[in-house]
Amino acid sequence: LRNRVMAPVEVPALGATMVALVVLAMSRILLAVSKNGAVAVAGIAAVMILGIAVLYAAKPKMSKNLIAGLALALGVAVLAGGVVAAVVGERSFHEEGHTGAIATLVSSPAPNSGIAQ
């Protein structure tokens, strides 16, 4: 009775929770590394996900346990990296000076507009 009633709720809820944890961990990792490091980390993660998908598509008769093990290893690595990145903290974001015509238009009101500076 429990499997018939709760499995349709438990499996998607567990899947959504795991996806949320991986997204949160990746955001912490990307915020902890440098600007160029974030691009590299995101690229490596994308290549690893694509690699697992290609491996699964190329060898459909491959053991499901092997595919699940690779996905689990990737997920654990991302979660561990997220924990480490959360402990390290975010990198500092510096506000750069505004230059150019658009920045001038946005930052200073028009003459005689009645807006006090």
Q: Look at residue 114 in the predicted model and tell me its pLDDT.
A: 60
The residue among 17, 18, 16, 38 whose CA lies nearest residue 27 is 38
Q: For the CA atoms of the chain, what is the radius of gyration?
A: 23
DSSP characters over 10-58: HHHHHHHHHHHHHHHHHHHHHHHS-HHHHHHHHHHHHHHHHHHHHHHHH
Q: How far apart are CA 33 and CA 41, in angstroms?
A: 9
Q: Which long-range contacts (CB under 8 A, 24 or more apart) does 89-92 make?
A: 89/32, 90/31, 90/32, 91/31, 91/32, 91/33, 91/34, 91/35
Query: What's residue 112's pLDDT?
Result: 63
Instruction: Quick: pLDDT tens for 8-33.
Output: 888 899 989 989 998 999 999 998 88
Residues of the chain with pLDDT under 50: none
pLDDT of residue 100: 54
Give residue 13's pLDDT.
Answer: 92
